[in-house]
Amino acid sequence: MEGVIDADTRALLSADGALDWCVTEFVRVVDARLPPRVFLRHCPELAEAGTAGPLTPTATPVTLQLLGSDPAALAANAEQAITLGATRLDLNFGCPAKMVNRHDGGASLLRTPVRVGRAVAAVAEVAAARGATVSAKLRLGFDDRRVALACALAAEAGGAHELVVHARTRREGYRPPAHWEWVAKIRAAVSAPVVVNGDIWTLEAYWKARTLSGCDDVMLGRGMLADPWLARRIRHWQASGGERLAATPWSARAEVLCHYAARKQAAGMAEKFIVSLLKQWLNIMRGRDAEAAARFTALRRETALAPLLAGLAHPATEPATYPAPTPA
C-alpha cells in the first residue's frame, strides 16, 4: 500500500508468521527501464533475495507490484525486477488516485479490458521465461461493474496465475460496503485462483467475505494495520476450530507503532516524516479501536517525535499483555 506499507511495516506485520505473502508499494512504470535503485527502494528485501525471491525477516514471500499501462515498458521493468531477484510480480489495476489515472495507470485500464489483457500478457511472457509468476490486482470496474468479468477474464487470458479483487469500482473509492458477492461472479467465470479484498477488518468480516465470495483466500489491507494480529487471529480461529483470540490490547498496538518509529530512527529518517507516518498509521487504527481514537485525538497536533511516542506508550487502562486465546 503506497505510502503505508514499506519494508519495515512488512517486517513488523509478518513477524508472527501468520501471513502467506505480502506486497510492495507499486513501482510506477512509465516508459523507461527503471534503474535497480528504484526497485531496491520499494523492495529492499531484494538485496538479500535467494532462489525463493525477496522475503521478510520471518521468510514471508514479498511480491513486487508494478503499475503502468504500456506493455513493453511493463515487460522491460518486469525483466529488471526478475534480474534483481523478484520471483512474484503483481500488476496494479486498482489504484484510484486521480493523478495516476490521468496518466493512464492503475484503475484507468479497467475501462478497456483488452488493455488489461495486453499488459498482463507482456509481463507474463517475461515472467514465464524466467520462472517467475504474475498476478493481477483488480477492482470491479472503473465507473460500473459491468466490466468486472471482462477484466478478470482478460487478466486470466493474459497469463495471470492469480487475481486479487478489491470488491469495489474505482468510482466507489474506499466507501463501504465492499461487494464481496461480486467477487463470487468473477470466481465462477475464471479458473485462476481469486483472492477477495476490501473491508476485511475483523474475524467476522473475514468469514463473511469468504462466504459471500466463495474465495479460499483473502487479502488484508487496512485491517492488518488497524489490528496487526488480524492474520494471527484468523489462523488461530481456523486451527483451533473456532477459538477466538482476545481483542488486541492497546499496549500491543502501541508497541508495534513504537517499534516502527525505532526502525525509522535507526535508518536515519527525519523526525517529521516519522511523526507523519505514525499519525497515518494511528489514523487507520482509530476507526477500529477506542483507545487508538482517544490517542489520535490527544496527539493529532503533536509535531515532535518524543512526546508523540510518550503519548502512544502512556499506560492504558488495560493490562499490557499480548493477546491470549480465550474460548469462543
Ligand X SMILES: Cc1cc2nc3c(=O)[nH]c(=O)nc-3n(C[C@H](O)[C@H](O)[C@H](O)COP(=O)(O)O)c2cc1C
Which active-site residues does the annotation give? Answer: 95
Considering only residues 53, 159, 223, 249, which one is a binding residue for ligand X as defined by CB under 6 A?
223
* Using rule CB under 6 A, residue 166 touches ligand X: yes
Supply the minimum distance, in Å, between the C-beta of residue 128 and ligand X: 22
Which residue in the block uniquely carries the three cell numbers 525509522? 264
Supply the minimum distance, in Å, between the C-beta of residue 73 and ligand X: 18
* Distance (Å) of CA 304 to CA 4, 152, 299, 314, 320: 20, 46, 10, 16, 25
Give the nearer residue to ligand X in terms of CB position, either 165 or 261: 165
Give the nearer residue to ligand X in terms of CB position, either 161 or 311: 161
Supply the minimum distance, in Å, between the C-beta of residue 314 and ligand X: 27
Supply the minimum distance, in Å, between the C-beta of residue 156 and ligand X: 18
> Using CA atoms, how far apart are residues 158 and 129, in angstroms rounded to an integer?
14
- Give the number of other CB atoms < 10 A from CB of residue 228: 25
At 84, list the grid cell. Answer: 534483481
Give the nearer residue to ligand X in terms of CB position, either 97 or 269: 97
* Distance (Å) of CA 318 to CA 201, 248, 290: 22, 11, 12
Please report, as a single letter, which amino acid is at residue 95: C
Give the nearer residue to ligand X in terms of CB position, either 293 or 313: 293
Mark residues 232-271: x for contact with ligand X by CB under 6 A, - for none. ----------------------------------------
Please, what is the Cα angle at 138 between 4 and 194, to 5 degrees?
A: 105
Q: Is 265 among the annotated ligand-binding positions?
A: no
Q: Within 64-93, which residues bind ligand X (CB under 6 A)?
A: 65, 92
Q: Is the dihedral of CA 316, 319, 324, 325 positive or negative?
A: negative
Mark residues 182-221: x for contact with ligand X by CB under 6 A, - for none. ---------------xxxx-------------------xx
DSSP per-residue codes, 292-324: HHHHHHHHTT--SHHHHHHHHHS--SS------
Binding residues for FMN: 65, 137, 197-199, 221-222
Sites of contact with ligand X (CB under 6 A) = 1-4, 25-26, 65, 92, 94, 137, 166, 197-200, 220-223
